[in-house]
Structure 1
Amino acid sequence: MTNYHVKLQAAYVAKNVEDAEDAIGIAISQIGKSLNKGKLDYVDIELGLTLCPECSEPVDCVLVVARTAIVGIILSMRVFNAESPEHALRIAKASIGKALKDIPLEEIDVVDF
């Protein structure tokens, strides 16, 4: 049995936002509340980054159109005593997915520690 650090990407839709900073704050706050309700306060929440197509510099992963935003969030957690990286990923997705029912999750990275 091995311990793993699992990173997942989540897409959060924030409505009635003023700007990108407002959308980021709402997304992180709402995801944090949902995780805390599910007793998952050990899950780390970060803003995702993407590369600018013009300059290739990293920029915040947020898009605002018509006061509605989609925000890319990175969720990471440690999974202990998993049989394989795939098993650790299933555990993380199941745990986080219960708290964030309508939010899509995608694997970014699974590393043993």
Structure 2
Amino acid sequence: MDCRVVVEAAVPVYDVETVDEAVRIAISKTGEMLNPDLNYVEIDAGTRTSPSGEQLDPAFVAADEALVALELQMDVFNVDRDEHASRVARKEIGKRLQNIPLKVLSVTEIDPEESDRAEESDRAEETPATDDEESAGD
């Protein structure tokens, strides 16, 4: 079974004045921590709601510091069940985002056709062999 796991991360950001600036810096900071090992993890601004259900900004800014809610989406392949997929995603992301709290928001099974298309696009993005490598096989 293949699954898409969405994990929420609480990323601290310093020396910011606005929510937009905090979100941009948090996404950049998180991308640097994940790359190059997990460059396939999608990073988006998270969603937050108040206890009454009102939509809030993805960051809370106070005293030029912010805590930004980010959603990290990762596809996990060949797992037994949802719990296994969430453990794999938390472990892989958590190794690179040390001291950043993580919470699994959702685990959804990927349609087999969709995962085949993702694997094909990954193969297409791989660098082609150079002329030296091709002639070595002759």
Same fold (TM > 0.5)? yes
Offset of residue 22 of structure 1: 1.1
CA contact (8 A) 1:52 1:59 kept: yes
Correspondent of 1:61 among 54, 58, 65: 58
Q: Say if 2:5 and 2:89, in contact at 8 Å, map to a contact too.
A: yes
Instruction: Supply the distance in 1 between the matched residues of 2:107 and 2:23 (Cα, whole angstroms).
Output: 25
Q: Which amino acid aligns with 1:4?
A: C
Q: What SS is found at the alignment partner of 1:82?
A: coil
Using the alignment, how far apart are the partners of 1:75 and 1:46 within structure 2?
A: 7
2:103 counterpart residue number: 106
Instruction: Name the SS for the 1:14 alignment partner.
Output: strand
- Runs of 5+ in structure 1 lacking a partner? none
Structure 1 runs of 4+ aligned residues shifted over 4 Å read 52-55
Distance 2:67 2:28 in 1: 14
- How many residues are paired up? 110
Same amino acid, percent of matched pairs: 38
Deviation sequence 1:15-34 (CA, Å, 0-9, x none): 11121111111100000000
CA drift of 1:51 comes to 2.9
Whichever structure has more helix as a proportion of its residues is: 2
Taking the aligned partners of 1:70 and 1:55, their CA distance within structure 2 comes to 20
Bigger radius of gyration, 1 or 2? Answer: 2
Q: How far apart, CA to CA, are the structure 1 residues paired with 2:23 and 2:100?
A: 15
Aligned to 1:18: 17
Task: Please tell me whether the aligned partners of residues 48 and 73 of structure 1 are also in contact (alpha carbons under 8 angstroms).
Answer: yes
Residue 92 of structure 1 corresponds to: 89
Q: Does 1:82 align with 2:79?
A: yes
User: TM-score, normalised on structure 1?
Assistant: 0.90
Say whether the 8 Å CA contact 1:47–1:60 is kept in structure 2.
no
CA RMSD of aligned residues (A): 1.5
Contact 2:23 2:58 (C-alpha < 8 Å) held by counterparts: no
State the distance in 1 between where 2:86 and 2:53 align. 33
- 3-state SS in 1 of match to 2:61: strand
Counterpart residue number, 2:43? 45
Query: Kindly tell me: are residues 69 and 4 of structure 1, through their superposed partners in 2, closer, same or farther at Cα, counting changes over 3 Å?
Result: same
